[in-house]
Structure 1
């Protein structure tokens, strides 16, 4: 393992985050705080409790997951796209750094940013609503798995994109709608039976459900199935990335 090479890339990516704190950290925290104010206050007046959990506290896991998914994709895709755009990707490919070492550095940095953001939002949420974490180790596990997996997915998007506008297509048109339709603000039990079945094909449902179980012990889907779903998606992303480096697809063009 080329530890010096991995650390250099990781440190460079993390330094970019601290140079753009307003965009990377402060803006997502403010946006999520507005969700707490608007949905927690407005909807909380109508929906008092869900499965015995106050509505304001019920949406905390969903909002944290929304921020993590979005930021993981954005950070990882931008991190690998910039070397492609500037032409420095060839220096990376010719350096004594293996594909797994480059992946660890880029994905590790993107996941670190997302985990940091998720923890900040978790602390910020306490200013608006009281909540509890029934299973803290499971909560940390889902936080890590989700950040890493969607950073891997974001890495794939960054390699695939051939323009800045494409970096926003998947997060804006696919991930964000899937998150809103994945039970962030409501339990699946409030949907008609047909739409409950359709919603089970939404992969984000399993992430939010498992993450919420870690907080309150209530879930729309078994926590075991949720862990299996995120693990399977992670494995699929790793296989695709291994193929990308093996063939040079969109890297050497």
Structure 2
């Protein structure tokens, strides 16, 4: 009865039992929220892994069909009579198809996250947790890169089933760098798309009219030396061209951007700069809440 007659604490006041709680509006996590980052990352990974037949294995089968069709149509048969950059056509086109499969799936994964949340009304699940803008961005991009790596491994395994394909690695650093940088590039573009898009048609428009043309015209199936000088110049403005050529250099030791580490290094640095610039833009948009909180 004595406790029942005690006055309630004033707003903002702390009691002995509530003294461990922060005042309203004051962030609890002042530094790096490792648990929150890992939780969101695993949520995104599990989202695509639950349907791995569509998200991982289907791209491997599709890419193998690309290899079969283009090898038979342009390479002179399964064993490949046509030589490009000193190797048979199948071995030439295989690294480019692996890289293309990786970047396309990185974009597909990251472009759905926030857009799906906006359409389904669950965007609050991304905005309310006590994680920083950088942690949110890292989780979304990291999950997309994880899917890209898994798809790349699945595609490479499928490629080995085709006769005449050699995936011997000449420069491991180029395979790792251009594979990761290409995946990060398209993952960032995917998150930017999911912020801008208001419906799935917007996402499909970016896929069909931007990502797919840039991927198909990036030198995956040909060397740009076969193009007219004007079209060569346009190709060199395509960042995906450097992803494909650099990744191919890692396997063959030759590419459209050079046959030495120093020649390819310029493309590697340029790709890293582009990723930093796009990452800064993405961070600013997420921080501002544009089309997410407004």
Contact 1:74/1:167 (8 A) holds in 2? no
**Segment of structure 1 superposing worse, 80-89 or 69-78:** 80-89
Q: Where does residue 218 of structure 2 map in the other structure?
A: 182
Instruction: Report the alpha carbon displacement of residue 91 of structure 1 after superposing the two structures with TM.
Output: 3.9
Q: What is the CA deviation profile of residues 185-224 of structure 1, one whole-angstrom value per residue up to 9, with x for unaligned ones?
A: 0111111223222222222211111111111111111312
Instruction: Report the alpha carbon displacement of residue 178 of structure 1 after superposing the two structures with TM.
Output: 1.4
Q: Aligned pair 1:65/2:77, yes or no?
A: no
**Segment of structure 1 superposing worse, 76-85 or 43-52:** 43-52
Q: State the alpha-carbon separation in 2 of the partners of residues 94 and 138 from structure 1.
A: 39
Q: What is the CA deviation profile of residues 67-110 of structure 1, one whole-angstrom value per residue up to 9, with x for unaligned ones?
A: 11211111001022222222332343232110111111111111
Q: State the alpha-carbon separation in 1 of the partners of residues 241 and 45 from structure 2.
A: 30
Q: Aligned pair 1:246/2:287, yes or no?
A: yes
Instruction: Report the alpha carbon displacement of residue 130 of structure 1 after superposing the two structures with TM.
Output: 2.4
Correspondence for 2:43 among 2, 8, 12: 12
Q: Aligned pair 1:80/2:134, yes or no?
A: no
Distance 1:54 1:249, change over 3 A: same
Q: RMSD in angstroms over aligned alpha carbons?
A: 1.5
**Segment of structure 1 superposing worse, 57-66 or 90-99:** 90-99
Q: Which has the higher contact order (CA 8 A, sep 6+)?
A: 1
Larger C-alpha radius of gyration, 1 or 2? 2
Contact 1:76/1:152 (8 A) holds in 2? yes
Correspondence for 1:55 among 82, 89, 95: 89
Q: Where does residue 118 of structure 1 map in the other structure?
A: 152
Q: State the alpha-carbon separation in 2 of the partners of residues 188 and 5 from structure 1.
A: 45
Q: Aligned pair 1:165/2:206, yes or no?
A: no
**Segment of structure 1 superposing worse, 63-72 or 46-55:** 46-55
Q: What is the CA deviation profile of residues 110-136 of structure 1, one whole-angstrom value per residue up to 9, with x for unaligned ones?
A: 110111101111121111122321012
Contact 2:85/2:255 (8 A) holds in 1? no
Q: Report the 3-state secondary structure (helix = DSSP H, G, I; strand = E; otherwise coil) of the residue aligned with 2:75.
A: helix
Q: Which runs of 5+ in 1 are unaligned?
A: none
Q: Aligned pair 1:135/2:174, yes or no?
A: no
Contact 2:114/2:191 (8 A) holds in 1? yes
Q: Where does residue 137 of structure 2 map in the other structure?
A: 103
TM value normalised by structure 2 = 0.82
Q: State the alpha-carbon separation in 1 of the partners of residues 148 and 111 from structure 2.
A: 13
Distance 1:137 1:200, change over 3 A: closer
Contact 2:44/2:143 (8 A) holds in 1? yes
Q: Where does residue 276 of structure 2 map in the other structure?
A: 235
TM value normalised by structure 1 = 0.94
Q: Aligned pair 1:31/2:37, yes or no?
A: no
Instruction: Report the alpha carbon displacement of residue 18 of structure 1 after superposing the two structures with TM.
Output: 1.9
Q: State the alpha-carbon separation in 1 of the partners of residues 132 and 158 from structure 2.
A: 39
Q: Which structure shows the bigger proportion of residues in helix conformation?
A: 1
